[in-house]
Amino acid sequence: MGLPKFISEALRAVARRPFTLMYPFERREPPEGYRGKQVFDLSKCINCGLCAMDCPAFAIEMVEIGGKKWPKLYMDRCVFCYQCAASCPKNVISSSKLYELAGTSRSNLVISPEPPAMEGGGA
């Protein structure tokens, strides 16, 4: 019968460590290539706007700073599909392992562009 089998399984589990972790005291390291918070390396950005065009969640807006348009990411809309990184011709967008993105304000969930200092002073 199956029932005694499950009892022996349950008894064995008593001796084992719990399967769950004591979050937030214990944290699991996400694997390599985990799709967490985005990192923008704007020194490579060519202001083409392909990331904003292909974003399925309309989470990227191109904002004008110093006469050029730069990507601004709203993480509260983002679905972390990384199509932006795939569309980017210059590999500006890379992933990080940061996944604890909950907050009390939506304004904390915006990655504003910080364009590199431009030669010639910009606008």
Partner 1 sequence: MTTTDLIIGPQHPALHEPERFVLKLDGEYVVDVVPRIGYVHRGIEKAAELRSYIQDVYLIERICGICNVSHSLVYVQTVEALQGFEIPPRAAYLRTVVHELNRIHSHLLLLGVVGELFGFDTLFMYLWRDRELVMDVVESITGNRLISAFNVLGGVARDVGPSQISEAKRAMEYLRGRMKFYKKVFAEDPTVEKRSKGVGILKPSSALSLCAVGPVIRGSGIKTDLRADDPYAAYGEIPFNVITYDTNDSWARFMVRVDEVFESIGIIEYALDHLPDGPIRARFPRRVREGEAVGRVEAPRGELINHIISKGGDKPYRFKCRTPTLANILAACEMIRGGQIADVPVSLSSIDPCFSCEDRLAIIDVSKGERYSARIRDLMAKYGASR
Does 81 bind partner 1 (CB under 8 A)? Our answer is yes
In the three-class reduction of DSSP (H, G, I as helix; E, B as strand; rest coil), residue 2 is classed as helix
Distance, in Å, from the CA atom of 94 to the CA atom of 28, rounded to the nearest integer, reads: 21
Distance, in Å, from the CA atom of 24 to the CA atom of 22, rounded to the nearest integer, reads: 6
Q: Which contiguous run of DSSP H or E holds residue 87?
A: helix 83-87
Kindly identify the residues of this chain, within the stretch 42-61, that bind partner 1 according to CB under 8 A: 53-57
Does 120 bind partner 1 (CB under 8 A)? Our answer is no
Contact 37, 75 (CB under 8 A): yes
Does 16 bind partner 1 (CB under 8 A)? Our answer is no
Point out which span in 61-69, 76-84, 101-109, 114-122 binds partner 1 (CB under 8 A).
Answer: 76-84
- Looking at the Cβ atoms of 31 and 120, the one nearer to partner 1 is 31
Least separation in angstroms between CB 62 and partner 1: 16
Bridge partners (DSSP) of residue 94 are: 39
Residue ranges that bind partner 1, judged by CB under 8 A: 1-3, 5-6, 9-10, 19, 30-35, 53-57, 79-83, 86-87, 95
